[in-house]
Amino acid sequence: MSPRYAFNRRGLFHASALGVVGSMLPPDVPDACADRSGGNVAASNGGKAKSVLHVHLSGGPSQLDMFDPKPEAPSEVRGEFKPISTAVPGIAVCEHLPLLAKQMQRWSIVRTLAHREHNHLLATHVALTGRPTPIPRGGTDLDRVESRNDFPNFASALDYVRPRSDGIPTAVSLPNYFIEGPLTWPGQHAGFLGATHDPWQINGDPNADGFRMQALSMREGITQKRMYSRRELLEKLQGVRKEDQLNGGAGSFRQQQEIAIKLLTSGKVVKAFDVHRESDATRDRYGRNQFGQSLLLARRLIEAGIPVVQAAMGIVQTWDTHTDNWGKLKNRLLPQLDQGLAALMDDLDSSGRLKQTLVVVMGEFGRTPKVSTLPGQTLPGRDHWAHTYSGLFAGAGVRGGQVVGKTDSQAAYPVTRSFSPADCLTTVFNSLGVEEDTQIMDPLERPHQLCNGQVISPLYTGVAE
């Protein structure tokens, strides 16, 4: 088992004796995987992915105004946008996603994602962990913020079952941590597994001229030779001891020192964070905005061998369109999403990495079918809706050019089988080759089944369930 308590990768990480200082970048949900004998895993081509890029659309994007248009619905449901045909006959998407429409042969749209949580904080925990969010006794939804008692983020769980010591992190999350005022969104870190398994968190705009990961550089005057010399001196002062002879705290700290040295001297990940190495033409293709450059950075991190990259679009609740739903989507959100994803998919495909990279695009829920106007507002929008919403999947064996699931005439409820966030994350683990019976342990040594859903088999087979 990997250590449960160690340095907080979002906090200060320093190995002062080495002269290295930097902040680390650091429906129902079932309780266990069901129907193991039904060929679910075998049909999934499990283990094809070497990397996963999870694009989280925080706030909840509208299924009706993006991937599940209903042009025949009443005006108060269908909204202002019109559907357009795609490269795949019979599949339509929003008119403001023209590049995605041309690339539809690469994507699989799942239109029947569903769960029970309509609150941002609770739904985010469900989306990123596959588990319901525990509410303190006597508390309310608004009391439920990030806690070390949470179930771990899926990337943190991967780090627990596949710990690394080569200086390459298991997961990087960018471009910001989801915090709004006193509220910190749960599901972003390792929860009860401890801070040592937290994803490396980047809080910065890759589109900014001065963007640079100072945490991944050595102090002025510190060379690789000098760093190794200091490490040798440190070992002599401490006495050379095997890792299993160290107590938990000292061992964890020593592990972090070693990871820091490998990271700073390898140069592989350091170079990946330097988006300025890309040509102006490439950066322009992704879009000169935070989201476009975040996707470009995500692609570079995947190329550097990082297994999981979580990329968000802007700040928390960017897609929370209670007011001016169509203005926000048309003028900024959809054009940036369309351009960034198109460039990403072109690059992954041309390099051959799409075959080994699972790309997932979704929010924590969708939006209400019926349009409404909040009190005191003049521009209408849509409210929270978790009964059904849409997500995109591509790469690593996913069958492109298809729609999985069907909703009713108002995109309000599934009329075919629904899929939970637990199913989505079980699909992610399966794609990475994680064994279906893998368990993780909490601080009380209680086992928890990591795969608590079913693989979304139609993504790979094209056969409706």
Q: What is the DSSP string of 62-114?
A: -STTTTS--TTS-HHHH-S--EEE-SSTT-EEETT-HHHHHTGGG-EEEEEE-
Parse the chain into domains and list their residue ranges: 27-215+287-461
Please state the length of the chain: 465
pLDDT tens, position by position, 291-341:
999 999 999 999 999 999 999 987 788 999 999 999 999 999 999 999 999
Question: For the whole model, what pTM was predicted?
Answer: 0.83
Burial (CB count <10 Å: 0-12, 13-18, 19+), residue 358:
buried
- pLDDT, the chain, mean: 84
Query: What superfamily in CATH does domain 27-215+287-461 come from?
Result: Alkaline Phosphatase, subunit A (3.40.720.10)
**Which pair of tokens denotes residue 92?**
């339509």
pLDDT tens, position by position, 123-143:
999 999 999 887 765 555 555
Average pLDDT over residues 148-156: 94
Res 446 pLDDT > 70: yes
The pLDDT, as a whole number, for residue 41 is 43
The pLDDT, as a whole number, for residue 398 is 97
The helix/strand/coil state of 32 is coil
The pLDDT, as a whole number, for residue 136 is 64
Say how far apart CA 413 and CA 74 lie, in whole Å: 16
**Which pair of tokens denotes residue 384?**
């929270």
Sign of CA dihedral 117, 33, 186, 396: negative
**Which pair of tokens denotes residue 246?**
């160290």
One-letter amino acid identity for 25? L
pLDDT tens, position by position, 71-105:
999 999 999 999 999 999 999 999 999 999 999 99
Query: E-assigned strands of 70-177?
Result: 83-85, 92-94, 108-113, 171-174
Say how far apart CA 63 and CA 319 lie, in whole Å: 11
Q: What percent of the chain has pLDDT over 70?
A: 76
Average pLDDT over residues 352-380: 97
